[in-house]
Chains A and B, each alone.
Chain A
Amino acid sequence: MSSPDPEATLLALYRTMARIRAFEDAAEIASRGGLAAWGPQTDQATGAAPAQVRGPLHLSTGQEAVPAGVCAHLKADDPITSTHRGHGHTLAKGADLTRMMMELFGKAGGFCGGRGGSMHIADFSVGMLGANGVVAASIPIAVGAAHAIRLQGRPAIATAFFGDGAINRGPFAESLNWAAAYHLPLLFVCEDNQWSATTRTDTLSAGGGAAARARAYGIEAVEVDGNDVEAVLACAGELIARVRNESRPALLHARTYRFKGHVSVDPAAYRDPAELARALERDPIALARRRLSELGVEGTTITAIDDEAHAEVKAALAAAAAAPWPSVTAAFEEIQSTGAGQWL
């Protein structure tokens, strides 16, 4: 992010976070079939409100500052890979919100034509190479993208977003080594929401966590308050400049918190309510709002951003609800070219 004006910079980050929050709130409501708050979405034939977002829906509510602060430094030809909790990364990378909602609705106009849904949200045209249904699996893909960048001699960098649970899978360790051994322009971003699905990560993890593991491979690692979007922006900016200019990997360990359950149907009853209450006091969007006020930004300006995000999401919901389903022939397309048409 190049703007030297802290107010304008923070407003832009705030807008990114507000759009992510509004998108995920709406997706969650749509997954429960209740879109009344967002306008008339009932099924015309039955009058019922069907679940319009299906399957596992992993929300990143509370974690918005991380993709906002990191992606502000990335260009369209800087590829990223993401996780099953990938809406925020996709929006922050610049993907069209309406086409994302269409994908969650399983509609033909979605980014994957309805083949992928939430867990496989992607927009390759802005360098978002995909959310992934397998924990840690997208890290080596980012390694490959960074390796290709190096072979092609491009000035780009790759970024791998992953969670704290992913650091306990082998591909994370392999990828740290690989990126360091080949001096790849790759930023590892551990978006640490403290939970590995429904179990606290600190009960499962030895040693000093993502940053300590990276340092063991000689990789520079920085820890940051992942709910402070200005801090994320600053730390990511410094690391990305070094990754880009010196063609070497770095790791950003952003501590944040997942306000919702592992998946939208998970009420997270296993969690101490006091823990959630403490976390909500540090809602990254509320913190940014407070900071904007300190900078002298009028409340109406902030509210206008919220309203704009809600209006955009509301329009996206309407567009997604009205959009056509994929043709059933799409089930047989984009699988492979060799032997296409041979299903048995």
Chain B
Amino acid sequence: MAVSTYSQAAVDALCTAMQADPSVIAMGEDIGRGGIFGQYRGLQARFGASRVIDTPISEATIVGAAVGMALTGMRPVVELRVIDFALCAMDEIVNQAAKNRYMFGGQGRVPVVLRMPIGIWSSSAAQHSQSLESWFAHIPGLVVVAPATPQDNHDLLQAALACGDPVAYLEHKELWSMEGDVVATEALPIGRARIVRPGRDLTIVSWSRSVHQCAEACAALASQGIDAELIDLRTLWPWDRETVLASAARTGRLLIVHEAVQVAGFGAEIAATIAELAPEVRLARLGALRIPVGYSPGLEAQARLTPDAIAARAWALAS
């Protein structure tokens, strides 16, 4: 067992994959120097500039070229810096990477991991702060992963590299320096949620950074006599409905929390699914208001979730 950061855990997972398989390459802007968040630290020195490729600021061609590489025997890991920049490559992600296998009848595969960091971070304002996971969950052909811990960033990046599908891999920018134990485990399958904290009175499901805010809320709720079960979904597509459904059916109450804008967020999908499958469960959602993320701290705060707000919503649902 070793303590690692969320970013170093990803470096280690990628390093292992690159050592094991010469077809694994990484490419993106500024990754030769380690990536702007250190998530490629040391890899170019180790594997060379031909396998850890600094690219031009050409998002469409970064992803389009990754598709072409994948069709001709490579397994590219693509860095898009922040998910907001992935919007410059939406055709390549949605129409090309996601559709290729199906529309050409399975003649090819597109094993591409698209690292697209999400989330509010350090007064980065409206174009560097979004959480757009629901956009990608909507697209047949894509896998959507959003790890919340160093261990999961290690295990899920390895799983994403191994799965053979195009993966929207969504790390959270505020978690890069988070430390935690990372142990070498058996391969973690994509699509399995983690019960962070067992509880009896209500279920809270979340993913990415807001899992940690939910954990704080759970601690506050416990001090008020409410025993909340917290589930980290970890993967948005395919999502672990069995775990969520079983927990919600047991507690009778389900709160879905995400940093993304609440309107048409993935929480709506979870809520609708549980409402159809277990109509007796009382449901609530908590996401960001439908406002752009502002720069000034007071404005940015209006787009953030807080443990207090989560606890208040959970309290109302549990009461």
Interface residues of A (CB under 8 A from B): 79, 81, 110-116, 120, 122-125, 129-130, 132-134, 137, 139-149, 151-152, 158, 170-171, 174-175, 177-178, 181, 333-339, 342, 344
Contacts and interface: CB of A to CB of B under 8 A. Distances in A.
Contacts of A149: 72
B61 A143 contact: yes
Contacts of A124: 71, 104, 107-108
Nearest to B66: A144
A120 B104 CA distance: 6
B268 interface: no
23 contacts: A112-B103, A115-B105, A116-B104, A123-B107, A129-B71, A132-B96, A133-B95, A134-B95, A137-B91, A140-B61, A140-B67, A140-B68, A143-B61, A144-B65, A144-B66, A147-B65, A148-B73, A175-B64, A178-B56, A334-B102, A335-B101, A339-B143, A342-B238
Contacts of A142: 68
B190 to A, nearest CB: 5
Contacts of A175: 61, 64
Contacts of B104: 111-112, 115-116, 120, 122, 124, 130
Contacts, number: 154
B72 A145 contact: yes
Contacts of A79: 68, 71-72
B58 A178 contact: yes
Contact of A141 (B65, B102, B103, B190): B65
A141 B62 CA distance: 10
Nearest to A108: B105
B287 interface: no
Nearest to B97: A141
* Chain A to chain B: the 6 pairs with minimum beta-carbon distance, closest first: A144-B68, A140-B64, A339-B238, A112-B105, A144-B65, A334-B106
A186 B102 CA distance: 26
B140 A137 contact: no
Contact of B96 (A110, A141, A158, A181): A141
Given A132-B96, A152-B74, A334-B102, 18 more contacts: A81-B68, A120-B104, A125-B107, A137-B96, A140-B63, A140-B92, A144-B64, A147-B68, A148-B69, A170-B60, A174-B60, A174-B61, A334-B106, A337-B163, A338-B163, A338-B164, A338-B190, A338-B238
B206 interface: no
B40 interface: no
A137 B64 contact: yes
Contacts of B70: 144
B72 A139 contact: no
Given A129-B71, A141-B68, A145-B71, A171 B61 contact: yes
A192 to B, nearest CB: 22
